[in-house]
Amino acid sequence: MEKLQAFLAGERLDDVAIYIDDGLLGDDHSLGDAGTAVDTGIVLVVPGEAGRNAFQQATGIGAMEFAKEAMDRDGEIEAALDGGVCPADGDGAEHTIEFVLSFAEAQNEEVGGLYEEGDVIHAYAHCSCGVNFSQKWLAGSRERPTHTDD
């Protein structure tokens, strides 16, 4: 099973998924070999600590710092992690999702709520307008991506 699909199904709980828009990567990046090429950028699925470090190197922001800030605002993030809809969309500004950070959390019946039902995907996005936002859902419960690893 493809890395990204396995991650979204909750089968790679120790990994981190990172989406980076082509606009941030530039034309001469070589990340296509390391991740899943999508229409607007690259999605990488990497082991946890290496993924958090890669996120910081790519964005200049600490992964957990970014997640903590983004969790204060709900928005819509694509099931394949390759974009979304900024909650500030409609304000007349340009809205492009520049990067997404995602991790999965194992089912935890003691916590209750969504976590009681199964593994949970947490996704955090940054829009070109400066807004950070988040969304979470049950692993495997949203539409599976159609992208493939090359």
Which residues span the domain enclosing 84? 3-138
pLDDT score, position 146: 43
Total structural domains within the chain: 1
Compute CA distances 150 → 6, 86, 104, whole Å: 15, 29, 23
Query: What are the residue ranges in the chain where pLDDT is below 50?
Result: 1, 144-150
**Which phi and psi (to 5°) does residue 149 adopt?**
-75, 140
Asked if residue 96 is part of any domain, the answer here is yes
- Alpha helices per DSSP H over 30-76: 48-59, 63-70
Asked if residue 145 is part of any domain, the answer here is no
pLDDT score, position 33: 61
* Beta carbons within 8 Å of 59's beta carbon, 6+ residues apart: 66, 99, 126
The tokens describing 9, both together, are 């199904």
Cβ atoms within 10 Å of 12's Cβ, excluding its own: 22
**Distance, CA of 65 to CA of 8 (rounded, Å):** 22
pLDDT score, position 143: 53
**Distance, CA of 111 to CA of 61 (rounded, Å):** 29
pLDDT score, position 67: 96
**Distance, CA of 38 to CA of 146 (rounded, Å):** 9
pLDDT score, position 29: 56
Asked if residue 150 is part of any domain, the answer here is no
Residue in 24, 63, 19, 61 with CA at minimum distance from that of residue 44: 19
